[in-house]
Chain A
Amino acid sequence: MSIQEPQWDAQFQDAADWEALETTMAARAALKHQPLGATFELTPFCNLRCKMCYVRLEKEQAVKIGRMLTADEWISLADDTLKAGTLNLLLTGGEPLSRPDFAEIYTALSDRPFVLSLNTNAALMDAETQALFCKRPPSSIAVTLYGACPETYGKICGDPGAFERTLRGLEMLAEVPTSLEVRTTFIQDNMHELDALREIAARYTKRFAINVNVFKPIRGATADVESCRLTARQAMDLDTAHRQYYKARQKSGLSPKEPATTPKKGKYTGFDLPPKVLTCMAAKGMYWLSWDGRMLPCGTFSHPYTQPLKEGFDAAWQRLPTLYEDLRLPEKCEHCEIDLLGCPNCPANIQAESGNFTDVPPYICALAKERAQRLGNLKTGSTRHHTE
């Protein structure tokens, strides 16, 4: 271990300061191109069949695309990532718990010095998995909750019974000493359930995050999202309702914090680092390993990718940003005024929507325009409020 310049301040900073530290570490990692944050997408399979899922595959589809990594391969990749400097490790899928060898992989990863997080739909939770998590908890668990009643689960996930199973799973997870968050993705079938979903979430945790933007499936997944996703207007209405609820609670002193929201583009836009077209940490300080072993900047991309199992982890990580170096936004976006107000036109989203990096996707345009318009309205609205 290297000891740097002997400084004479014996400092010890504990978890309370972790959030601030995480940001500075992320910045330093990006500047040095160190792979600080990883996502292991353990499987493309799922016990549910959500109609808007961007990633789930059927067995027949998956075999044509690639081979699922074995538990040993994930564990050996984890060792490579440790050596390379990965600290934050998110396990996701598909549904990670649907892997019969999940406990084996999880146990091995939890014995290694990562800050582990898990995404799950909770419907496969059983006493054994609960005991595993209680004994060696991840730092955080995010549970997706798709509806507030069996009917909605039936419509969205193709399984009405999954509603009760999810609630039972949430009950079990609420007993795990971890930071629990409930997340809902909204589409036509559950957009009327915002309040009911928030109430259910509140039984288990204070953290409830919503996602209102659904993009087309990627990497061979075939969900027909166009038939069920929200229109730009509906998406903004829901987002506004969600924010207003928390603002009102904050005013009345009931809610100390802003609502948790899905990460917004631009959190780390200070960096003018290659590949410049990506305005987040993707390929700079974070990466995604897909179920079949591709390394991608983030899970929304399909390609280009590198192959850590074939070329070695370090080579794959070094080569990743070079694949995106010459990439640019579509010509029209580069001269678009709306972009300055914030547009979800990340190349990953463009690739998901258009199937290429060059065509401007109408859905993304509509979202950005709706948002820009509301920002205008919001200003007028709040002025009126203050003068009344």
Chain B
Amino acid sequence: MKIKDGYILRDIADSFVVVPVGERVIDFKGVMTLTGIAPFIWTQMEKDTSREDLLAKVLEEYEVDGAQAGQDIDSLLAKMAELGLLDT
């Protein structure tokens, strides 16, 4: 799974902001902000990846226990799916 084309993550004034471009503005109006680990996960998901890969990358990058990280990844993935951001 990966993030659909046409969403660009920007780092502006200390915020991570996702901006839809071109035709994507029809699907998503406005912008999204990502905080905490979300920008890291987003960046990983710009290429095709799996939940297992994501979890491994997060555990490599952050000091956190696996259960907590897995929960956070799941809730982010659910939110992304709900907003229609994922190519599965």
Contacts and interface: CB of A to CB of B under 8 A. Distances in A.
A112 interface: yes
24 contacts: A1-B11, A1-B39, A1-B43, A6-B62, A8-B64, A8-B72, A10-B36, A10-B41, A10-B75, A10-B76, A13-B32, A13-B34, A15-B32, A21-B31, A25-B13, A28-B14, A34-B12, A36-B13, A85-B13, A111-B21, A113-B19, A136-B25, A136-B26, A179-B29
Interface in B47-69: 61-64, 68
Main secondary structure, interface of B, reads mixed
A32 interface: yes
Given A12-B38, A28-B14, A85-B13, A135 B23 contact: yes
A11 B35 contact: yes
Interface string A17-33: 11001000100110010
Nearest to B24: A136
B79 A12 contact: yes
A137 B30 CA distance: 11
Interface residues of B, number: 42
Interface residues of A, number: 39
Given A9-B35, A25-B13, 11 more contacts: A8-B72, A10-B73, A12-B32, A12-B34, A14-B32, A15-B28, A21-B15, A25-B15, A34-B13, A110-B25, A136-B22
B37 interface: yes
Most buried by B among A3, A10, A110, A115: A10
Given A85-B12, A139-B25, A6 B37 contact: yes
Given A11-B34, A113-B10, A137-B26, A28 B19 contact: no
Given A8-B36, A34-B12, A115 B26 contact: no
A138 B25 contact: yes
Contacts of B21: 110-113
B8 interface: yes
B17 A87 contact: yes
